Amino acid sequence: MKFTKIAAASVTALMVATPVLADLVFPSLSYRTGPYAAGGIPYADGFADYFTLLNERDGGIGGVAIQVPECETAYNTEKGVECYESTKGQGALVYNPLSTGITYQLIPKVTADNIPLYTPGYGRTSAANGKVFSNVFNFPANYWNAASLAVNHLLEINGGDIKGKKIALVYHNSAYGKEPIRTLEGLAEKHGFELLAIPVDHPGQEQKAQWLQIRREKPDNVLMWGWGVMNQVAIQEAANIRFPMENFIGVWWSGGDHDVTPAGDKSNGYKAVTFHGVGDDYPVFGDIQKYVVDSGKAAGAGDNIGKAIYNRGVYAAMLLAEAAKTAQEIHGTADITAAQMRDGMEALEITEERMVELGMGGFGPSFTVSCENHGGPGTGAIQQWDAAAGSWKLISDFGGSDMDVIQPLIDADSAAYASENNITERCN
Amino acid sequence: MFYREAGDFKTSYKDDNQTFPIRLDRMGYYIVMFVAFCVVPFFVNDYWVNSVFAPFLIYAIAALGLNILTGYAGQVSLGTGGFMAVGAYAVYKLMVAFPDVSIVIHVLLAGGITAVVGVLFGLPSLRIKGFYLAVATLAAQFFLVWVFNKVPWFYNYSASGQINAPERSVFGVIVTGPNTEAWAKYMICLVFVVVLAWVARNLTRGMMGRKWMGIRDMDIAAEIIGVNPLMAKLTAFAVSSFFVGVAGALFFAVYLGAAEAGESFGIAKSFLILFMIIIGGLGSIFGSFAGAAFMVLLPVLLKNVLVGGLGWPTDLAAHLEFMVVGGLIVIFLILEPHGLAQLWRLTKEKLRLWPFPH
């Protein structure tokens, strides 16, 4: 009797993936638990808060309310797949899983289901080639842009010559961390520096051996592709071996406020690449404070506004909202489907005027997405941590990356994917 | 009253020795088989297959494998994740190298390759026992994952170190890749599970299983009555690794479609499968299924109840899930150290006497 009751309850509970239609659904595959929660929480908060702002201030997008159902993945690919399957039936318009591993799982699945996948600044870099990856978008910048931007910065501060320098790459030993190696090898050949790749295994709490190796090899610069708890540990370890912070450059995922604060003053001068603005000095954040946080509708505690990763969540949500709006205009319907959303993303055009209108003037680049190019302009800047002020400062202008090196790599990698999966090129 | 041996007359030794000697058990078994093969495939959708059935069935194979080694032969192993990785990478290399050969053959070959690797890592078991063997297999876990990260040949030199399963079919039905129908994915897993569980059940009932159990219960005594410990231990490692390798191959090719060694086959996987057989019941075929079901379904169920049903925040639900699953493991170990299989056994004993227990 008791057992049958439990069994019946389990079956009903397993079936409660109730589809709610007639809303624009942007599922948030977030992670608020586990070793990567430090980055996952502000991103998910920013992503949700921007959509809440649109609901509260503008009544949604084109008059249709927005829903952001959350699903906890813990940065784990199996849970990510479960989340994808459980939210797919709710009319999901686009997925933004914030995990390169989950992205690799989802690329074939979303293509089969014709749902777009948006991976700004992460995921499979060669997805920038829209001719092969019809449903994957990674504008405005990707890992290989980041690698090139970091090297460009080193060129700039070294007067254009880094021949014979030794550059170490401390990376998360996963698909994410391995992504930039190929580009850095290409750049090493071009500029004549020596690349030293040092892997750190998941979750990255123990890095004594890696930093001992760095102390022994004495590289001129260290680049880092880290995420979650690995970032904080690496910066602390770098401080412990007295590695000069200004020679230490992280990718944008290693450039969160929570990454540098644990090391206190010792992290002063640490640099990171970024593809959007820093700080909370943009009108949109005032609106978020007013409409979302002050009215108690914030996704988190509301204390992350203006922090680097939170801003990135807001930026991603903004670009998706603009794409949804574009899709509504193209198809003449407010209630768009995932396939129409894909068309909207492919036709997205971001101008500086529009950014000013949105209260984010100068926050990110102006660009257009096309059928061939899903990767955007690939521009970025370098931010530096000021421990005394407790904030990031941009120390360079938004510049382009070395597409002479990156484009052939994108073409080669996407061609390999196309031949493995029998994909014929589109956009002809 | 209904569940009893009385009245079920056996007229041959074959009948007497069958797996399910009680009529009601047999009926239950046939009904489960009928539902699994003839009913479920018509009702499954993507969500059910990808969140419930595929992981449950595949983990059941892995749990069967580990149960043969740890439950029946008494050799503790913490290398299950590593052996699953061997199966996954083997099937990947085979699928890419020989696209015209059937995926079923590839999965079986991947199991065979894993068996060879398992025997290699099983060699130390001839000299060391218990905790020390656990540490040796732990070394296998870390070594294998390290190899698959370090040697680019295993992942065909892809930029990210990820392996992706290309599309393959069985009898013209696609079973791997993104275009797989839900029922096809379910059926391929189910066929493997049923065949392997049948093999496992009969192996453990036969001479080989008795040798394993002899070694488990007292290796010196077993040796004195004529069991060759070398052969018994190595066959246990081989058969167990074969099962685990098949599970790893299906896990990568059918269930996930893409994998990387460190994330999908890390130490966490080894512990997960060890928990499955401890909770399910060591030395029991049914226990492997019960444990796999418990560890796969409970988190999904809790998540759907707490987040989907009650609307709790996802992080709170995820933390509570850890506590509930952890708490249940502890409760089980205290109240029923022999696992869910023992509970099932006790229920059956009581049913035989019901309704007149005295």
Chain A closest-CA separation from residue B258 CA (Å): 5
Reported ipTM: the value is: 0.87
> For A377-414, b where at least 16 C-beta lie within 10 A, e where not — what string?
bbbbbbbbbebeeebbeeebebeebbeebbeebbeebb
From chain B, pick out residues whose CB is under 8 angstroms from the CB of A174.
161, 260, 262-263
Q: Which of A72, A77, A421 is nearest residue B315 as measured by Cβ atoms?
A: A72
Mark yes or no for CB contact B314/A71 under 8 Å: yes
Is B212 inside a domain boundary? yes
Interhelix angle B54-66/B285-303, nearest 10 degrees: 140
- Do the Cβ atoms of B222 and B215 come closer than 8 Å? yes
Report pLDDT for B358. Answer: 67
Distance CA A346, CA A326 (A): 9
Interhelix angle A37-53/A308-331, nearest 10 degrees: 40
Mark yes or no for CB contact A76/B166 under 8 Å: no
From chain B, pick out residues whose CB is under 8 angstroms from the CB of A201.
262
From chain A, pick out residues whose CB is under 8 angstroms from the CB of B314.
30, 32, 70-72
User: Which residues contact residue B60 at a Cβ distance below 8 angstroms, ignoring those fewer than 6 apart?
Assistant: B193, B197, B288, B289, B292, B293
Is B276 inside a domain boundary? no
- For A8-17, how does the pLDDT look when each residue is reduced to its tens digit (9 = 90+)? 555 555 544 4
Is B346 inside a domain boundary? no
From chain A, pick out residues whose CB is under 8 angstroms from the CB of B300.
14, 82
Mark yes or no for CB contact A77/B162 under 8 Å: no
Mark yes or no for CB contact A78/B301 under 8 Å: no
Mark yes or no for CB contact A88/B46 under 8 Å: yes
Is B18 inside a domain boundary? no
From chain B, pick out residues whose CB is under 8 angstroms from the CB of A125.
159
Mark yes or no for CB contact A82/B177 under 8 Å: no
The token duo for B173 is: 């039905």
A201 touching B (Cβ < 8 Å) = yes
Nearest residue of A to residue B177, measured between CA atoms: A108
User: Which residues contact residue B170 at a Cβ distance below 8 angstroms, ignoring those fewer than 6 apart?
Assistant: B102, B103, B104, B188
Report pLDDT for B156. Answer: 87
Is B330 inside a domain boundary? no
Nearest residue of B to residue A99, measured between CA atoms: B263
Mark yes or no for CB contact B160/A104 under 8 Å: yes
Mark yes or no for CB contact B318/A74 under 8 Å: yes
Nearest to A171 by CA among A222, A238, A239: A222
Mark yes or no for CB contact A174/B260 under 8 Å: yes
B179, amino acid identity: N
Mark yes or no for CB contact B318/A201 under 8 Å: no
- For B209-258, how does the pLDDT look when each residue is reduced to its tens digit (9 = 90+)? 999 999 999 999 999 999 999 999 999 999 999 999 999 999 999 999 88
Q: Which of A17, A41, A202 is nearest residue B47 as measured by Cβ atoms?
A: A17
From chain A, pick out residues whose CB is under 8 angstroms from the CB of B158.
416
- B124 burial (CB, 10 Å; 0-12 / 13-18 / 19+) is middle
Mark yes or no for CB contact B149/A179 under 8 Å: no
Nearest residue of B to residue A197, measured between CA atoms: B150
What stretches in chain A show pLDDT beneath 70? 1-22
From chain A, pick out residues whose CB is under 8 angstroms from the CB of B47.
17, 85-86, 88-89
Q: Which of B164, B166, B262 is nearest residue A201 as measured by Cβ atoms?
A: B262
- A287 burial (CB, 10 Å; 0-12 / 13-18 / 19+) is middle
A89, amino acid identity: G
> Over the Cα atoms of chain B, what is R_g?
21
Mark yes or no for CB contact B149/A199 under 8 Å: yes
Mark yes or no for CB contact B314/A202 under 8 Å: no
**Superfamily, domain A21-141+279-377+410-420:** Response regulator (3.40.50.2300)
Distance CA B342, CA A70 (A): 39
Mark yes or no for CB contact A71/B51 under 8 Å: no
Interhelix angle B130-150/B267-280, nearest 10 degrees: 140
B218 secondary structure, DSSP code: -
- Do the Cβ atoms of A273 and A251 come closer than 8 Å? yes
Domain extent at residue B207 = 45-265
A71 touching B (Cβ < 8 Å) = yes
Q: Which of A18, A33, A81 is nearest residue B319 as measured by Cβ atoms?
A: A33
Q: Which of B263, B266, B304 is nearest residue A14 as measured by Cβ atoms?
A: B304
From chain A, pick out residues whose CB is under 8 angstroms from the CB of B264.
77-78
From chain B, pick out residues whose CB is under 8 angstroms from the CB of A176.
160
A298, amino acid identity: A
Mark yes or no for CB contact B166/A421 under 8 Å: yes
Nearest residue of A to residue B301, measured between CA atoms: A14
Is B24 inside a domain boundary? no
Nearest to A370 by CA among A354, A348, A353, A339: A348
Mark yes or no for CB contact B164/A78 under 8 Å: no
From chain A, pick out residues whose CB is under 8 angstroms from the CB of B265.
none
Chain B closest-CA separation from residue A217 CA (Å): 21
- Do the Cβ atoms of A184 and A223 come closer than 8 Å? yes
A125 touching B (Cβ < 8 Å) = yes
Structurally, chain B folds into a number of domains equal to: 1
Best mutation target among A104, A132, A171 (most B Cβ atoms within 10 Å) is: A104
Mark yes or no for CB contact B297/A77 under 8 Å: no
Mark yes or no for CB contact A112/B178 under 8 Å: yes
User: Which of helix, strand or coil describes residue B212?
Assistant: helix
Distance CA A183, CA A190 (A): 11
From chain B, pick out residues whose CB is under 8 angstroms from the CB of A13.
301, 304-305, 308-309
Every domain range in chain A assigned CATH 3.40.50.2300? 21-141+279-377+410-420, 144-277+381-407
Mark yes or no for CB contact A420/B303 under 8 Å: no
From chain A, pick out residues whose CB is under 8 angstroms from the CB of B266.
202
> Along the 358 residues of chain B, how does pLDDT read in single tens digits?
678 777 788 889 888 888 888 888 899 999 999 999 999 999 999 899 999 999 999 999 999 999 999 999 999 999 999 999 999 999 999 999 998 999 999 999 999 999 999 999 999 888 888 889 999 999 999 999 999 998 999 998 887 888 888 889 999 899 988 888 999 999 999 999 999 999 999 999 999 999 999 999 999 999 999 999 999 999 999 999 999 999 999 999 999 988 988 888 999 999 999 999 999 999 999 999 999 999 999 988 998 898 888 888 888 999 998 899 889 888 888 888 889 999 999 988 888 888 877 6
**Top CATH class, A144-277+381-407:** alpha beta
- For B283-313, how does the pLDDT look when each residue is reduced to its tens digit (9 = 90+)? 999 999 999 999 999 988 998 898 888 888 8
A83 touching B (Cβ < 8 Å) = no
From chain B, pick out residues whose CB is under 8 angstroms from the CB of A416.
158
B49 secondary structure, DSSP code: I
How far, CA to CA in Å, does B28 sit from each of A399, B20, B32, B33? 69, 10, 6, 9
The token duo for A1 is: 């009797």
Size of interface A-B (CB pairs under 8 A): 124
- Please enumerate residues of B whose Cβ is less than 8 A from a Cβ of A: 46-48, 50-52, 55, 149, 158-162, 164, 166-167, 177-179, 256-260, 262-264, 266, 297, 300-301, 303-305, 307-309, 313-315, 317-319, 322
Distance CA A119, CA A24 (A): 19
